[in-house]
Structure 1
């Protein structure tokens, strides 16, 4: 049996959220949200929407502050009673997703130079697409053997003699990328 819950709405003062209703709403910043009303917490003024996930059997739970809802575009009661049972959460899978996301964030943050110009970052971003690169202070280190120093031109590439061929390859790629970037 569906339960009706009154919510303080964004403009009109009172909307009715019925658990189990399929809703489509627009937030005040223009984002359209659709899903099933899972719950409404009067104390925190939070609406819980259960959205379809990216593939079958997966759901996303979204918490929305009712005061951030600009308008309710539609609300339909379910044909059959809403199942109030919480969906299964695979904690191990959540842990692995979190770990993967943290690793990805660390990798992406390592690709951002500290105290470098936008031009230097653009050169790094272009180089890293074709060769492994890391920042070492303000120098770009390519393939662990070639250093590209400010102002990041082919003339500012250095390596030991053992890696001369790699240095020449980096110079060629750097020249091409600088031309492509209009530098």
Structure 2
């Protein structure tokens, strides 16, 4: 069919096309009037995927437009979802995140204190106790977070925290 031109109004319309190569049917996915090419989208019922056929407009012998709604193959099959169950899981997830965040982010602490906490937490388990960093549940690093502010814990753990803290402080300078 010479002089064939498609418009935006033709998109997603169902058509049957007879070409020199055979018969094709599906929805008009897209077109390019300059390159004289159309793409037809058709469902593969066996796999629930979509097939795309590229057709040269010059090879079209006949087109028949059919009034057929487009079937969404990717829609949710089970629409009987339990909204209360989903809402409950969402609330539990938010609550768990809030609980974890309390241990990870200090309240009313400086950016430097938070950076120290994050660096210490990379190698040793840490959490916040108000504005003090608790390392390995036994050593406290109090404000202003210098090596002299490390207290508690066994002698070996205390020395280790001081060593790591001194390295962190040197990197932050």
The TM-score, its normalising length taken from structure 2, stands at 0.50
Q: Of the two, which has the highest radius of gyration?
A: 2
